[in-house]
Structure formats: C-alpha cells, structure tokens
Chains A and B, each alone.
Chain A
Amino acid sequence: MRRPTALLLGAMALLAGHRATADDHVTLRMQYYREPSTRVVQPVMELEKDLPGGFDVNTHVLLDAITSASAASGPAGDNIFTEVRDEAGLRVGKNWSRARVTLAYNYSAESDYWSHVVAGGAAFRVWGDTGTLSLSAGVGYDDVGKRVLGSAPTPAITGTCIPNGTRHCPLDQRFAGFSYSQVLTPTLVVQGGYELALLDGYLASPYRSVPQQQGGEVVPDKRWRNAVAVRGAYYIPPLGMGLQLQYRYYWDLYYKLRMGFLPTAAADPLSTTGGNPWNVRSHTVEGRVYKTVGRDVEVRATYRYYSQGSAAFWCDPAGAQAMGSSCYTSAMLYTTDPKLTPVSTQYLEGKIYWDATRWRDTPFAGWFAAGTFELSYGYYWQNTSYVGAHVLQAGYTIPY
C-alpha cells in the first residue's frame, strides 16, 4: 500500500493538532486490513506531552507489515511477499491564547520508497472562540526505487527517470490547505475547507504493466490535486446522540500544460479532455452516528460512500485497441492502475469506546482505569479487482 500523497496528508492530519492544546497521553493501536490479495498489520504508538511555555510535542512511530500476492514483486508470475514500512513523525506545537502554530516532520521508509515531509500549520480562534481558521502547508521529497528479483523484466517505461535496481526517481510534493469551522448553536458546528497538492516527478508504478501496450505504464509527471469539503456535527442532548455528515468533492488536472510532457498526436483521445490527462472527479459522502450508552461506553456507526470517474488515460481493457480508446496503439499515456478506473466503494463500520473507570479498584487492571479502549470493525466494498476488505482496529489511550 505505497502512498505518495497519503504520507504527506497523513502528516498534515497529525500535524495540525487535534485539540486547541495538547494533553499528555500515550496511544497504542493495532490496525489490520485484509483483502483477498493483501494483508496489512500496522502497530502504532503515539505520545503527546505538554511542555512549559505553551509548547507541546507529539511523536508517533508505526510499522506497516504488508503481505501481498502480486506481480508487483517483480517476477513475471505472481509471488507472495511481505514488506515492512517504517514511519516516524515528530510535531512541535506552540499555543497562545487565541492561536496555535505547529511544525512537523514525517519520515517513511520501505524497500523501494522513501519519503520526507515537512509541514507547518496555524490555527486561529475567532469570534469569542466560536470560529477556528486553520491554515496548513507542507513539502514532501520522495524517492521511488524498484526491487529487482531474479529475472524480473524491466517494464519499458519512457520518460525522464525510470527506477530500477540501482536508480531512484524523485517525486516532489507541495501541499496547502485552509478550513474554517464555526459553532452556530450550542449543539451545531459546521466546517468548510479547500486543500490542494502539487505533485511533480515520478508518478507511475515501476511494476505495473499495460498488456495492450506490451510494456509498463506511462503516467504524466505532474498532478494538481484539489478537494473541497464541508461537514457538520449536531448533538441531541436528550438522546445522548451526535450526528456527523460530510461531503467532499475532488478534482485533479495536469498543472503545467505548456511545458510538461503531453501527448501531441491530434487524434489522441486525451484531447477530448481539453488536454488534461488526469481528469479524475470524485464525490464522497460520509455519515457518523455517536451514541452514549451508560456512563462509560460510547458507540459509533460510520457509513461512507465514494464514487469516482476514471482518469482520461486509463486503458480500458474493454476498449483495447479500438481507435479512440485510452490505450490504442499510439497513445502516449496509459495505465491499468485499478484506482484510476471508475471506482465505487462503500465502507460500513461499527466502533465502541470504553472508559475503563470501572477497573479503578481492581488489582492490576486498575493501572488501566484512567484510559479508554477502542475497538472497531468495518467492511470495505470495492468494485475494482481488490474486491472487498475487512478492517479491524483496536486501541488504548491513557493520559499521564
């Protein structure tokens, strides 16, 4: 599950700080993702500590143990392999009465992908602390390599840089975003925001092949990703119930049309998209229901629906060699990446939070009484070749 931008955005998520100020805690989590061809086991530890002078520090480390049955390991035939990704991050925050500034660094390494991300964020509370304006920006520097096993054929990828057993290709990223949230009533909060990311460099997979082209995929070297999102949260005190709803719209494009690598053939199907080889559009709707059950239990139900159109240069196997298809013989950009096809997914999850206060007077278990246990299970439906996935997460957070 190699993710160039997710590393950056994940860092941003952790970067900005999830509370107005930090509170001292340690979180231990185990996350498990299982679909027919891939299994991911991810232990995580996060630690947050208040420091004098309004400073706080947050750090996390995680391991991704990814086991796949995939041709991506290099040999012509499928091969089961396990890969480990290490990630560590550090965030320092400084708080004032109405503002918070953060600076974060994130590092991720696996056998064929290395990523460094530096990001900064600021949040300002306005209008009697009922509004929060958040700004964030970051840069990422990735290196993409390639594992070469046995007699693995090297896909004939054209372009300025092709990873192989000894050569890495760079991928630079720039990210920025802003959001504004406003408390409208004692039980209603709304938020809206915009985020963008500019990716420049090697954006293909060195392992993916396009049978119709008898070679590796050829992907644009630049991508401008955009997303706007609105969300709201509403609480119903008599029922002890909270509702959250969010909508996200995403679009992307090639951002350097005049100077970048673009198809020149007049008959190329990409011309139908106005010269934008990406042209991915997606809608995401997610709803959550929180319900307090008794004194120390809260449950959460989540439903997420996602729908996406394909990238303009996706090579539709059904269209194969037909003139006008995205993978006809002389196309200059083509991919068979499943996530650039018309993707539709749904995710349904149940989660329980349990404050272990009942253990306060219990020998040994009393050590855990100040903390909160979390357990969730979800199922992820996909219309792509990945089919579906089970997602199990367990965690424990304890203040100190």
Chain B
Amino acid sequence: MDFAPWLRKCALLVALGCATLAGGCAHRPPIEPWQREHLAKRAMRFDADPVEMHFRQHWFGAREGSDLGYGQPGGGCGCN
C-alpha cells in the first residue's frame, strides 16, 4: 500500500482540525469557570478508572479480534 496519499489526507485533516480549533478559540468558551462543578465528577470523566481500563483492555483483547479505541484522557475537568 502506498502511504503517500494517505499521509497527505492525514495532513489535510490535521490542518483542518487546527484551523477549526483556532477559529473556535476566537469565541468565548461555552462555559465559565464557575459553571464547572459537575465536570470533575466520576461520571463526567472518560478515564476515571485507568487501572480498571488496563485490565479490561487486556481481557477484551484476549477474547475479541479488535483492539484500540478505548479512549485517551479528556472528558470533564473541574480545573480552571
């Protein structure tokens, strides 16, 4: 498989993403610091249990043919 076209598409997507982010930053954030009390809750974080996630990935990977896509940090953050 020739990687060049695929890499060009990726570069274009990253550029579009950066442009979108830059454009978005020109506006006020959707919420203010004093509205973040719920964001630090366990239910609002996608990575609240990393050790549990590690175990789950191991066992799902041993029993299912797919892998990846179980998420990275992010989600709610109560920090200012």
Contacts and interface: CB of A to CB of B under 8 A. Distances in A.
Interface of A: 1-3, 5-7, 9-10, 12-14, 16-21, 27, 29, 31, 33, 40, 42, 44, 46, 60, 121, 123, 125-134, 136, 177-187, 189, 191, 193, 195-197, 225-229, 231, 233, 235, 237, 241-244, 246, 248-250, 252-253, 255-258, 280, 282, 284, 288, 290, 298, 300, 306, 308, 310-311, 337-340, 343, 345, 353, 374, 380, 382, 384, 386, 389, 391, 393, 395
Contacts of B80: 129
Given A244-B46, A257-B1, A345-B64, A9 B70 contact: yes
Interface residues of B, number: 53
A288 B37 CA distance: 20
**Residue among B43, B44, B47, B70 having the largest count of chain A Cβ atoms under 10 Å:** B43
A193 B39 contact: no
A186 B57 contact: no
A44 B17 CA distance: 38
Given A193-B71, A242-B44, A290-B43, 18 more contacts: A9-B57, A9-B68, A13-B57, A29-B51, A126-B24, A128-B28, A179-B71, A181-B75, A189-B75, A197-B67, A233-B46, A243-B43, A256-B1, A280-B65, A282-B64, A300-B42, A339-B63, A389-B59
Given A123-B73, A339-B63, A393 B52 contact: yes
Nearest to B31: A186
A340 B28 CA distance: 48
Nearest to B43: A242
A339 B65 contact: yes
25 contacts: A9-B57, A13-B47, A13-B70, A13-B71, A16-B73, A20-B79, A29-B51, A127-B29, A129-B80, A185-B31, A189-B46, A189-B74, A189-B76, A225-B67, A227-B67, A228-B69, A229-B71, A233-B76, A235-B38, A235-B44, A258-B1, A298-B42, A300-B42, A382-B63, A393-B52
B67 A9 contact: yes
Contacts of A21: 79
Contacts of A339: 62-65
B66 A20 contact: no
B35 to A, nearest CB: 4
Interface of B: 1, 17, 21, 24-25, 28-31, 33, 35-39, 41-55, 57-77, 79-80
Q: Is the interface of A mostly helix, strand, loop or mixed?
A: strand
Contacts of A31: 55
Nearest to B59: A33
Contacts of B52: 29, 393, 395
A183 B54 contact: no
A183 B79 CA distance: 12
B43 to A, nearest CB: 2
B62 A129 contact: no
A179 B72 CA distance: 7
A337 B69 CA distance: 22
**Residue among A2, A191, A241 having the largest count of chain B Cβ atoms under 10 Å:** A191
Nearest to B74: A181
Sorted nearest first, the 9 A-B pairs with minimum C-beta distance are A242-B43, A227-B69, A128-B29, A181-B74, A290-B43, A6-B61, A227-B68, A250-B66, A1-B62
